[in-house]
Chain A
């Protein structure tokens, strides 16, 4: 009797393990198929009215990576791909120049008035990276996301060697996390990710702040200046994050 019970238990246990294993395999198969569909999709080149490059466009998916680099006339380039939710063109006086490496650089001559420049498209879960130089800029620079308007958005801000992560809800600021980082006087990447209820701010490859809060409604993504001086930008990358 004992032996039979033991065998039954063993059989049941094996059955349950195989069941979970099969479920996991099914999920893997459907994910592989999903990835194959993505890899067959063609990325399309620049549209004449747009000044940004789409890294991939499946035509079967809503998600669309954006890798924006300065090109052509500054005001035309910015008007084509961005709009202002705070301030206006006169607050940033943009120009596109070429640096010593031959790369195009967006130069913003920022006045003291705040200005927020956001892409036309809205995103929910998103990763944003910008390559910039703020050697001659003083004040706060924010990467904003989930932006509804000037009073409601999520942000990660850098000012000097301090990084602050928070959100503005109907004009009220709530700080999630803040920390210091090692400043660079040269070009560096400043990135932010919003994945579900997890939010991160990084300088280069180093995570500086990591906060948690409820997900906000999808909104605009871009940069906000609250300072004065020359801010230089080589690239802004936006990657929509697909739900798991």
Chain B
């Protein structure tokens, strides 16, 4: 039984939506964290960051596999190269960030509000990496037609 339909070149195209949605949701819940004392909100943002980071890893690996299966025109190679680099930076960033945030929550003796604020400012950097990666991925498909029937 075929899992993927014929028109779908690889699973990377499906998976990319998960880190984008999870990390973006995590970011907004993290923002709410700054305005509330509820520990549930902190736990929720940590959970979303954790799930988002895990899916970032899976998506990154699926992307590495997809590269070998696609016919990429020369003009798209630099975009692909930068997309791959940005995806790696996103993965590394959120791996370190999420680990740090969770550890700070569990063991942090400092004021949780200050910790939340510092991590939120760091999260803005992570969101830049995520958006840039997605932007370049979109460019590959819509400008250069990578992975499409055309």
Contact = CB atoms under 8 A, between A and B. Distances in A.
B86 to A, nearest CB: 9
Nearest to A20: B131
Interface in A152-210: 193, 195-198, 200, 205, 207, 210
Interface stretch (A3-11, A44-52, A138-146): A3-11
A125 interface: yes
A9 B68 contact: no
A12 B35 CA distance: 11
Interface residues of chain B: helix, strand, loop or mixed (majority): helix
B112 interface: no
Contacts of B102: none
Interface residues of B, number: 26
B35 A241 contact: no
Interface residues of chain A: helix, strand, loop or mixed (majority): mixed
A200 B124 CA distance: 34
A242 interface: yes
Interface residues of A, number: 28
B104 interface: no
Interface string B124-149: 10011001000110000000000000
B31 to A, nearest CB: 5
B35 A198 contact: no
B74 A193 contact: yes
B31 A9 contact: yes
B10 to A, nearest CB: 13
Contacts of B32: 6, 9
Interface string B30-63: 0110111000000000000000000000000000
B112 to A, nearest CB: 15
Contacts of A30: none
A239 B72 CA distance: 13
Contact of A196 (B28, B31, B85): B85
Given A24-B131, A207-B67, A210-B68, A195 B77 contact: yes
A197 B81 CA distance: 8
Contact of B78 (A6, A8, A125): A125
A219 interface: no
Interface string B12-31: 00000000000000011001
15 contacts: A5-B36, A6-B35, A9-B34, A9-B35, A125-B77, A127-B77, A193-B74, A196-B78, A196-B85, A197-B85, A198-B77, A198-B84, A200-B77, A241-B77, A242-B78
Given A205-B71, A210-B68, A241-B75, 19 more contacts: A5-B36, A6-B32, A9-B34, A12-B31, A13-B27, A13-B31, A20-B127, A24-B131, A27-B135, A193-B77, A195-B80, A195-B81, A196-B85, A198-B80, A198-B81, A200-B77, A241-B78, A244-B79, A244-B82
